[in-house]
């Protein structure tokens, strides 16, 4: 569905270890910042889509986390929809908020993603990721990872998968070795993604990690699951991000002006069973639909925030999003095209690798970064002349694809 909504206000917390803070406090900080940025009173909100994944595991809050967070701010009576959709949770909340605006049901809607993942019991944290695959077929999931790795002449050590590390790092390891085998991609090229995002993160005061890294630093770091080292893997983190979305009519009435950023498209879909490995995969299908609904092509995009839950993920998504041909992702990152100052800067926020990845907050954090880029408010990491931004946010794993994936196009 072609969207017709305006992002009027955004806000987010710094991402990182907020063990001393409650979930409601994190959500409240981001929400209040977005409301203030939009120049409205909280009483103008007509509905809220509240995205969270791990509260039931980490804090014990179940069933009504959104209502609890909003009540803390004195916001009540309005419809509150609690959203859970793996790592695509916040992007789903945002897509639903925009759709309700576009359909004319509401004029002002809040979308928020908020998360706490740090816990003294690491098994609880890792279980939030493990639950994003088919838990009734865990043996099958692990067997598929092993089979994919064996198919390229390697052997996967899956001891500790889901218990000593996120299960998804083993999934991304399989992606990585397949891409290396098929296209000649190197560890150095994966490391170049992490080094680029570390540079971007060093310019972002809200990033979880703000230390610049070289390719050599990345390769010398602790190995997680070969070929992945620690900086090639997104970290555990806490944080929140929020957006106030309005109808075009309301944005005019409230004189939002140039601060309002148009949602040209926002497409959400889930994976399916492929007839063959050559069939177009979910990210490419969703991106094509988002481009068509926005009336643009990949060559028109100024900057991108994509789901780099691992360094190989970013490199592979270059290809799915049409930034380069299949197999050319490694060459693209090595060329500098996706770095600030390059042809198409990707993850100027530092991405999930350096900005952080509080699962339920990630998708709207991408929207915050792109909104600020299109407004020209990104300081040292500003993309010159940014007019069109694209966000890609995927989550969960079903078959051999994301269980949920959203692509959103924002225009100035």
Q: Which residues carry out catalysis?
A: 87, 357
| Beta carbons of 161 and 126 less than 8 angstroms apart | no
| Beta carbons of 347 and 304 less than 8 angstroms apart | yes
Cα(14)–Cα(26) distance, rounded to whole angstroms?
A: 9
| Beta carbons of 108 and 45 less than 8 angstroms apart | yes
Cα(111)–Cα(90) distance, rounded to whole angstroms?
A: 8
Which tokens in the block code for residue 222? 């602790």
**Rounded to 5°, angle at Cα 282 from 393 and 308:** 35
Cα(280)–Cα(277) distance, rounded to whole angstroms?
A: 8
| Beta carbons of 72 and 50 less than 8 angstroms apart | no
Kindly report the backbone phi and psi dihedral angles of residue 400, in degrees, each rounded to the nearest multiple of 5, phi listed first.
Answer: -130, 30
Cα(299)–Cα(364) distance, rounded to whole angstroms?
A: 24
Q: SS3 of 218, please? A: helix
Burial of 332 (0-12, 13-18, 19+ CB in 10 A): buried
- Helix count (H) and strand count (E) of the chain? 15, 11
Strand order in the sheet with 47-51: 80-83, 47-51, 108-115, 239-246, 2-12, 261-269, 404-411, 388-395, 303-305
Which tokens in the block code for residue 187? 């560890």
| Beta carbons of 75 and 42 less than 8 angstroms apart | yes
């Amino acid at each position: 569905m072609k969207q017709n909504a305006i992002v009027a206000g955004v806000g987010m917390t710094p991402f990182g270890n907020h063990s001393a803070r409650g979930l409601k406090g994190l959500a409240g900080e981001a929400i209040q910042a977005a409301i203030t940025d939009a120049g409205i009173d909280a009483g103008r909100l007509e509905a809220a889509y509240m995205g969270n994944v791990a509260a039931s595991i980490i804090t014990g809050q179940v069933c009504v986390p959104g209502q609890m967070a909003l009540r803390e701010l004195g916001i009540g009576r309005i419809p509150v929809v609690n959203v859970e959709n793996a790592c695509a949770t916040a992007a789903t909340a945002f897509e639903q908020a925009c759709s309700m605006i576009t359909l004319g049901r509401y004029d002002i809607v809040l979308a928020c993603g908020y998360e706490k993942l740090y816990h003294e019991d690491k098994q609880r944290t890792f279980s939030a990721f493990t639950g994003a695959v088919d838990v009734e077929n865990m043996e099958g999931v692990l067997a598929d990872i092993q089979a994919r790795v064996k198919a390229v002449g390697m052997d996967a050590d899956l001891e500790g998968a889901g218990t000593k590390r996120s299960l998804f790092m083993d999934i991304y390891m399989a992606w990585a070795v397949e891409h290396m085998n098929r296209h000649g991609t190197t560890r150095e090229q994966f490391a170049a993604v992490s080094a680029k995002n570390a540079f971007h993160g060093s310019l972002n005061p809200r990033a979880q990690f703000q230390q610049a890294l070289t390719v050599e630093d990345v390769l010398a770091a602790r190995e997680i699951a070969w070929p992945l080292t620690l900086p090639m893997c997104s970290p555990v983190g806490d944080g929140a991000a929020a957006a106030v979305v309005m109808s075009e009519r309301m944005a005019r009435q409230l004189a939002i002006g140039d601060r309002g950023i148009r949602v040209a498209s926002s497409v959400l879909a889930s994976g399916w069973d492929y007839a063959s490995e050559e069939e177009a995969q979910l990210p490419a299908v969703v991106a094509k639909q988002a481009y068509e609904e926005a009336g643009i092509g990949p060559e028109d995009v100024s900057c991108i925030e994509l789901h780099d839950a691992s360094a190989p993920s970013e490199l592979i998504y270059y290809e799915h999003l049409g930034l380069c041909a299949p197999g050319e992702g490694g060459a693209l990152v090595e060329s500098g095209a996706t770095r600030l100052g390059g042809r198409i800067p990707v993850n100027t926020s530092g991405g999930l690798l350096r900005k952080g990845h509080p699962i339920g907050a990630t998708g709207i954090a991408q929207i915050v970064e792109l909104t600020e880029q299109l407004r020209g408010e990104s300081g040292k990491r500003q993309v010159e002349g940014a007019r069109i931004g694209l966000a890609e946010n995927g989550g969960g794993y079903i078959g051999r694809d994301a269980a949920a994936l959203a692509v959103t196009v924002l225009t100035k």
